[in-house]
Amino acid sequence: MMTGYPTELIAVTALGCGWLLIGLLALARPHSVSWVARGLFPLGALAGIVLTGLALAALHHSAQTLVLPLGLPQLPLHLRLDALSAVFLLLIGATSAGISMFAAGYFRTGEGTAPGLLALQYHLFLASMLFVVLADDAFSFMIAWESMALSSYFLVTSQHRIAEIRRAGFLYLLMAHLGAVGILLCFGVLQGGSWQFSFAALRAAHLTPLWASIAFFLALLGFGTKAGLVPLHVWLPEAHPAAPSPVSALMSGVMLEIAVYGLLRVSLDLLHAQVWWWGLAALGLGLLTALYGVMFAAVQTDMKRLLAYSSIENIGIIFLGFGLTVVFQAFRMPVLAALALAATLYHCLNHAFAKSLLFLGTGSVLHATGERNFGRLGGLIHRMPWVAWLVLAGTLAIAGLPPLNGFVSEWLLLQSFLFTPTIPHDFINMLLPLGAAGLVLAAALSGYVMVKFYGIVFLGQPREARLAQARDCGRLERLGLLWLAAGCVFLGLIPVQMLALFSRVTEELLGASLGTLSQHWWLLAPLSAQRASYSPVAFMFSIVAFVALTLLTVRLLYHGRVRRAAPWGCGGSSLTPRMQDTSEGFGQPIRQIFEPFFRLQRELPTPLERAPHYRVQVEDRFWFWLYAPAAALVQRIARLASVVQQGRISVYLLYSFLTLMALLVLVL
Amino acid sequence: MAPLPLQIINLCAALMLLLSFAMLSQRRVLTLVDLFALQGLVLSISIGVVAWNTGQPHLYYSAGLTFVLKVVALPLILHRLIRRLDARWESETLLNIPTTLMAGLLLVMFSFALAQPISELATTLTRGTLGIALAVVMLAFLMMITRRKAVTQVVGFLAMENGLFFAATSATYGMPMVVELGVALDVLVGTVILGIFFFHIREQFDSLDLSHMESLKED
């Protein structure tokens, strides 16, 4: 056990600089794909794996700090590596390793920004996320945070010749700035009059409950914007489809989680005064986000937009867990708070793996077919078996099916919800079961969404003739997908060990450990085995056994009598691809049930039309409730300003003259 | 009876104010430049007197610099520019001359009121002239506001700079040498650049009348 010398922290810092160096090296031959993609991206992936190992090592040590004499005078960079940082470093390292490996095979010539520049932005993005997690004072945090936002903006707009992508990028940049302002103000409130901005000073500052609440809600605004909390989510479904797939994967899988890190850091570490209604607010917003996201995901017709809305849903679940943590902590129930926090962290990790996997799979499909629209895909499992089977792991994980990882975190979260009746507050007692019900609804609907995603794209018959030319992805891409899919399975099988790791975070932040989890390494039983327990290994073995038995039976009984027919054709062959269920058709029940939430525009054909067409467009109500009025207001204010804009030089001179006079009178 | 140097300085201050009013009422551009040169001469004399009185060598440089720049170089440049551009007459002013002069009078009163508290704080011999220096700045500003031709605007800008120099010498016995050199260079370069702009403006609008530039406004 090392306590004095910050070995891991130095190594992690060096690794971050290594990523920067890789980015700079890419500029040496910016137009050479073989140098940038085949040479540097695998190196970045290797650094990701090393980072994973370092984070695991750091989780077993106490917090390490380091002060680097860089930056402004008297403002050195403070770095700190504690258990919370280590968990998120683990997330960054492990996920980015798979994504970088995939990107090595993915990037090709002639797509927008030169590959070298793309690699620089990509590795700058990675390094700045790493430094966000390490930062131990407000200044270095903001610097890393902003360089994260800027580098991802340039990555999103890498195909900047397309006007739509430029618009999406602008929206993203605007929202990123809004969030950054919130965070900046939050730090300003947190210092509480001491004007010291190291996190140690912020931790020590004493705030009145009012100011603490203001700080909390500013943090919720700032980090919620980045994470995609409803109603600040509008940039996600625009920016994710615009970005190249590895970038979408990185943004959705890692950057959103980094925003959650920021919120956890500020609200659980820097702000100690815990107020129960903060938790309730976060919980309510999280629930709204989860339901809203999954409903919109169900009616999308674009693969990446669907995944973006699914990310919003998962962020909602994460915020739900965070809110529950705060509620438990406010009522002095640290063990339950620790359980909720562990579930939250677990879900972050799971979402990172599964969602990156799905985005990368989408990228492979896009490269193979040039198509993102569900209406023109289908039957790809025969053409792209590697992608199809690996993506299946991701869809099952997102859908929350055992024995994969998504199930464990959602189950743990539900378990912690089941303890809410012990909260000594009647109102919350009545309210929280509704939250649990909402969570279950969201989880079930996300299963529906994933069936739609997988079924339409990979199963059935190809909807277009040219899909027959689709090729499976290359070897490097396969490796990246395999790493992430293996992560999904692996994280699902070792919940006891993972909770032991998260227990270090809960000890540090909440002062309670999840120590008495289980007597057996294979049986997950939070708090007490009498209430509920789950054994993923047993689950997996029984599933494997059932599948093997079924296959065997089929082979034995029907040997030599297998006849291939078109999928969903019921054995006949009269089914054409156009008769299959479409994505619109599949989403129709959801559209019908939750109609008040959508803004629908339908065009129905009349019976007399020769070439009937049907069009339905689903729009986000928040766009019209919140964003359009805000934009109109800004326009109106801008027009007010143009009144003083006369265009006559003498008038301008008069303005400065009057200003001068006013200032002179004021000063003297 | 005040000592002789102070009397000379007060006289110079009065002359500068008078010249400012003369510039404000002058519509012939070439005469305006001559008045500006005269103001520069008065300024350099007053700086010289202050230098002689206080024995500060750097003020001599300052006086010399002012003389070279504002009495010789800039008027020469402006004369040549005006001849080349054929812009001898100021067109109609925005405000008629008597009204402008009345506004100027009010400005002088305003600047004296402003200078009162500063003068009491200052310890220099020349503190009484601070009000006049401020008035010179304001009158030059007023000239820039009321005139339409680009050349007049430049003269107004330079006259304002005269006032600032005078304020600096009267309040604190001049700015540090580095600042003065910098300002002098700025003024010279500014005039040259504005001269280039004149040609471009005339090429674009066939006139140096700035009211044409209103069409550049975006609606």
ipTM of the complex: 0.81
Nearest to A203 by CA among A268, A261, A131, A282: A268
Mean pLDDT of A651-660: 88
Q: Is residue A611 part of a domain?
A: no
- Residue A651 tokens read as 């008038």
Rounded (10°) angle between helices A7-26 and A41-59: 170
pLDDT reading at B41 higher than 80: yes
For residue A122, the model assigns a pLDDT of 93
Q: Is residue B219 part of a domain?
A: no
For residue A305, the model assigns a pLDDT of 93
The confidence band for A652, taking pLDDT boundaries of 50, 70 and 90, is: confident
The confidence band for A131, taking pLDDT boundaries of 50, 70 and 90, is: very high
Q: Is residue B217 part of a domain?
A: no
A112 — alpha (psi -120 to 50), left (phi > 0) or beta?
Answer: left
Q: Domain containing A229: what range?
A: 1-273
Q: Do A647 and B213 touch (CB under 8 A)?
A: yes
Contact A65, A137 (CB under 8 A): no
Q: Is residue B79 part of a domain?
A: yes
For residue A345, the model assigns a pLDDT of 95
Mean pLDDT of chain A: 88
pLDDT reading at A40 higher than 80: yes
Q: Is A204 on the interface with B (CB under 8 A)?
A: no
Q: Is residue B218 part of a domain?
A: no
Q: Is residue A248 part of a domain?
A: yes
Reported as a single tens digit per residue, the pLDDT across B86-137 is 777 766 677 788 888 999 999 999 888 888 877 777 666 666 788 888 899 9
For residue A517, the model assigns a pLDDT of 55
Q: Is B215 on the interface with A (CB under 8 A)?
A: yes
Of residues A646, A653, A665, nearest to B145 (C-beta): A653
Distance (Å) from the alpha carbon of B17 to chain A's nearest alpha carbon? 19
Q: Do B141 and A665 touch (CB under 8 A)?
A: no
For residue A1, the model assigns a pLDDT of 37
For residue A224, the model assigns a pLDDT of 95
Q: Is residue A133 part of a domain?
A: yes
Q: Is residue A336 part of a domain?
A: no
More confident residue, A643 or A451: A451
Q: Do B214 and A645 touch (CB under 8 A)?
A: no
* CA triple B91-B93-B98, angle to 5 deg: 130
pLDDT reading at B211 higher than 80: no
For residue A539, the model assigns a pLDDT of 86
Calculate what percentage of chain A has a pLDDT beyond 70.
96
Q: What is the total count of domains within chain A?
A: 1
Mean pLDDT of A616-644: 87
Q: Is the dihedral of CA A430, A433, A439, A442 positive or negative?
A: negative
Mean pLDDT of A355-374: 91
CA-based nearest residue in chain B for residue A652: B145
Q: Is residue A349 part of a domain?
A: no
pLDDT reading at B34 higher than 80: yes
Integer Cα distance of A447 and A453 in angstroms: 10
Q: Is residue A256 part of a domain?
A: yes
pLDDT reading at A632 higher than 80: yes
More confident residue, A574 or A587: A587
CA-based nearest residue in chain A for residue B141: A657
Residue with token string 């009059």:
A193
pLDDT reading at A2 higher than 50: no
Q: Is the dihedral of CA A246, A248, A253, A254 positive or negative?
A: positive
Q: Is residue A99 part of a domain?
A: yes
For residue A623, the model assigns a pLDDT of 85
Q: Is residue B41 part of a domain?
A: yes
Q: Is residue A597 part of a domain?
A: no
Q: What is the total count of domains within chain B?
A: 1
Q: Is residue B21 part of a domain?
A: yes
For residue A522, the model assigns a pLDDT of 67
For residue A636, the model assigns a pLDDT of 92
Reported as a single tens digit per residue, the pLDDT across A541-558 is 999 999 999 999 988 888
Mean pLDDT of chain B: 83
More confident residue, B206 or B82: B82
B93 contact residues in A (CB cutoff 8 A): none
Size of interface A-B (CB pairs under 8 A): 37
pLDDT reading at A572 higher than 80: no
Q: Domain containing B159: what range?
A: 4-212
Q: Is residue B95 part of a domain?
A: yes
Integer Cα distance of A238 and A244 in angstroms: 13
